[in-house]
Amino acid sequence: MEVLGNYTLWKQAVDDMKFDIITYGWVGDFDDPINFLDMWVSNSGNNGLKFKNEEFDKLVNDLDKEVDPAKRLKAYQRMEEILVKEDAAFAPLYYGDTRRFLQNYVKDFMYPKFGPTYEWRWAYTEGR
């Protein structure tokens, strides 16, 4: 097994599809399952593994117009079935979790549930 510890080499191997197994990560930036699913649409710039499935593409595209939560859930379930069970485009390995501890004098430090890991822009200390 050859481990590519350099991002440039890893990216080239992904672009050329020259690997037997690879790890790939994604961070959600908004609160909707589509955040983790639309990256697998065949023409997505984030679909580095070049997955292609016409039914999947249609399900994602149809969701742009669907507002019924029950119908959206059904579509999400079908997309997951296609990705993980039928086509085995990927295998979810883990979900990362982070614990954050702050001193009580650190103010306005933000750690959104989605998007950037930390937001220091407005942080300051007071009463040290």
Q: Do residues 113 and 124 touch, judged by C-beta distance below 8 A? A: no
What percent of the chain shows pLDDT beyond 90?
Answer: 40
Question: Residue 67 is part of which domain span?
Answer: 29-86
Q: What is the pTM of this model?
A: 0.69
Q: Is residue 13 included in any domain, yes or no?
A: no
In a domain, 66, yes or no: yes
DSSP string, the chain: -----SHHHHHHHHHTT--S---------SSSTHHHHGGGSTT-TT-TT----HHHHHHHHHHTT---HHHHHHHHHHHHIIIIIIS----------------TTEES-B--SSSSS-B-TT-EE---
pLDDT tens digit sequence for 109-123 = 887 776 667 778 889
pLDDT exceeds 90 at position 42: yes
Does residue 126 fall inside a structural domain? no
Residue 24, domain member (yes or no): no
Residue 70: both structure tokens together: 């029950």
What is the mean predicted confidence (pLDDT) over 24-33?
80
What pLDDT, on the 0 to 100 scale, is given for residue 105? 94
For residue 109, is it within any domain? no
Whole-angstrom distance, CA of residue 22 vs CA of residue 27: 17
Q: Identify whether 71 is part of a domain.
A: yes
The answer to whether position 92 is within a domain reads no
Domain count, the chain: 1
| Residue 40, pLDDT score | 93
